A and B are shown apart, each in its own frame.
Chain A
């Protein structure tokens, strides 16, 4: 179970009953703790406490000045990292302005996540409260370390419709890039299996005029295959198969021509 927490209760008033402190703290969610009480604290320069020794600070006041910037700074010093400060006020009239002022003061002293609390419901014997500001001391102290998050990358927004200053993309190319590229195969189209798609040298026409079927009549009438794959179709034929380009067939049966070959040239 949690250790006894140390709470410092401070007021600029003359008197602050312990029971009130206990009631208030209970309302604010803190059960077991050891209260230290300091009264008439408006003129204090420094609290007689070590740095980072107190779990929570409760500052109660009816005046607008307390706690001052200096005292808020002291709160920060004596609080443990992650500790909480509660600044509770009993004020008539313009509460919002005062809330903002206290919030600002507390933030400037280095506290985080200020929240505004409504304390009108807390029943106390000798005084009442209107609102409170709750804030947290950041959880690092000098010398403590924690993992740095990856630095946030700034989102760069560029409107591409504007006339932008762009670098010259051709400057990205090297001398090597600008030279004529080396073809991966032996040069010359005579070594490729067919004419290029955009053939301009006329090889395509020559190939077109070449005899389509280079097979003998016997090979068509009575096809044989020593490897056994010829009849299975182009997908299974070897590079040198004489039946390449023809449809699949059954060995011994006449090879038929598929619709590919029978299509009339328009």
Chain B
């Protein structure tokens, strides 16, 4: 964690600290670092979960690049760092002498737009640091995304830093990128192994995955490369009825490796398989030898020296590495990929076009062609056939294959040795009218139990902690949001066989009762005598079918209808859980609850109600899992 410097290393002038959830802030941070280096200013790019905040006073200039999620939350990698900065006892001049600038990535479609960046900017000033320039707020709603704001903000940053001290940029604040020479070098190097040096032992699937993913640049600091276990599908059932616009599946899985260990409400991450013909097409297009054995490691630089470790690492087949770690058919490349491609294009019109795409002038057009259309790496390479790019660059620039997370809809008590998932199959039409499908959901939908495909998975905690059986529950889960609550209710039912359990109120919503009423039989079973949602148990089941009548009815309306009962349960110590895929739903539900609290409490105000609910949140009694 300390920044001990090797002998002869140039001390950095600029520290770029980033907090990234999905990789966007990391990209922006790398871009800022690159632009600084191009101007002769040594920079370091470090994630906030790898930097000890107590060393901040030693820095002379820091640029923060922080993302805000839809619900206004900070990335996981930011939480510890932020907590440190919030300590009340920090002196008002603790960061005296430290200059900073904040760039935020957010979405103005959400109420809590760029809250993380705004709070950080304010707090840094409050503990003595000096702003270089005003905070930049990148916006997904902008025609070219956050880059639309980043480009001009960076120019302002460089010119201001230059004014403060020309030594920052010995070459001046502006730099012309040579059209002919690529200044940068790939960050990774590939060792190709001779056939004789290979081990003869057979590797298990688990070992192979661990080896490949352990080498991959896409590996995040806290990721586990080795899967927790392998699952095979035992059931693939369509839940939505004919006539529905959606395709939602119920999947069941069993383990084929170690025992399954999770708690109700947890999240499981699956590593999807990629289309084999797409992998072959990519390998052929890039002129690679699929059967060669490789080791991937960081390239030596003046700062890091030769990486001796690489000589003792174990190799992996190139094709396997591509399959398991490089996303060639789904994720879109970043702007930097186009910049690097432009140097390797031999056809003149391709080179020009790529240079245009990588320039500030061509940014919007690039956004339309690439990001909005969700072009895959393979598609881009096929659109620019004269580009021959080395594997080192590909390893760095091809988006990493990411596992996809799902809320588990089963309970270990009620469904021992099984994992159930409720998955909406993602598919949409692009602006150019091409059909795109979600990689993981489509792949899962195509699987059958007979194929016996082994799926590598990781379990981890989500935002919904498993409730004790004695706690009353208010559950709000429209659409696929009902998934974790199926687990909650199934679990409580088993618990009820031996111990008394507290009541459960469950609010469900969907468009039409007839077509997308997921798990209808299950909920209705529990409304009958002895069920967890029955009246006699003190609970209830409430449905909002938004399109079954002219007026839209949503879960928040149903919650308001049941004001009295909700309030009674809250007074009995109920915990609130909200889950679902929607931008506005969690905020609407919060509003409805605030209204209930302020009304039922005689003399209560909206502010007081808001405070009460926030306190519940802090105490872990108000939990939201929202996905997009």
Contact = CB atoms under 8 A, between A and B. Distances in A.
A153 B60 CA distance: 12
Contact of A167 (B88, B427, B442): B88
Contacts of B110: 181
A29 B469 CA distance: 84
A210 B433 contact: yes
B197 interface: no
Contacts, number: 130
A184 B54 contact: no
Contacts of B88: 164-167
Contacts of B119: 169, 172-173
Nearest to B376: A260
Contacts of A165: 87-89
Nearest to B245: A205
Given A156-B94, A158-B54, A235-B384, A184 B108 contact: yes
Interface string A196-225: 011110101101101011100000000000
Contacts of A181: 108, 110-111, 113
A209 B55 CA distance: 57
Contacts of A166: 83, 86-88
A158 B87 contact: yes
B433 A248 contact: no
Contact of B109 (A183, A207, A213, A265): A183
A160 interface: yes
Interface-central residue, B54, B126, B432, by most chain A CB under 10 Å: B432
A169 B80 CA distance: 14
A195 interface: yes
B435 interface: yes
A234 B373 contact: yes
Contacts of A169: 82, 86, 119, 123
Q: Which of under 10, 10 to 19, 20 to 34, or 35 or more describes the interface residues of B?
A: 35 or more
A197 B432 CA distance: 15
Given A165-B87, A183-B108, A233 B383 contact: yes
Given A160-B84, A181-B108, A198-B628, A172 B383 contact: no
A213 B628 CA distance: 29
B353 A197 contact: no
Given A167-B86, A197-B428, 6 more contacts: A173-B118, A173-B119, A177-B118, A194-B431, A235-B353, A244-B432
Interface of B: 54-55, 57-58, 80, 82-84, 86-90, 94, 97, 108-111, 113, 115, 118-119, 122-123, 126, 139, 141-143, 245, 349, 353, 357, 368-369, 372-373, 380, 383-384, 425, 427-435, 437, 442, 445-446, 581-583, 628
18 contacts: A156-B54, A156-B90, A157-B54, A160-B80, A160-B83, A160-B84, A164-B83, A164-B88, A165-B89, A166-B87, A172-B122, A184-B143, A194-B372, A204-B429, A210-B429, A235-B357, A235-B380, A244-B433
Interface of A: 150, 153-158, 160, 164-167, 169, 172-173, 177, 180-185, 193-195, 197-200, 202, 204-205, 207-208, 210, 212-214, 232-236, 239, 244-245, 248, 260-261, 263, 265-266
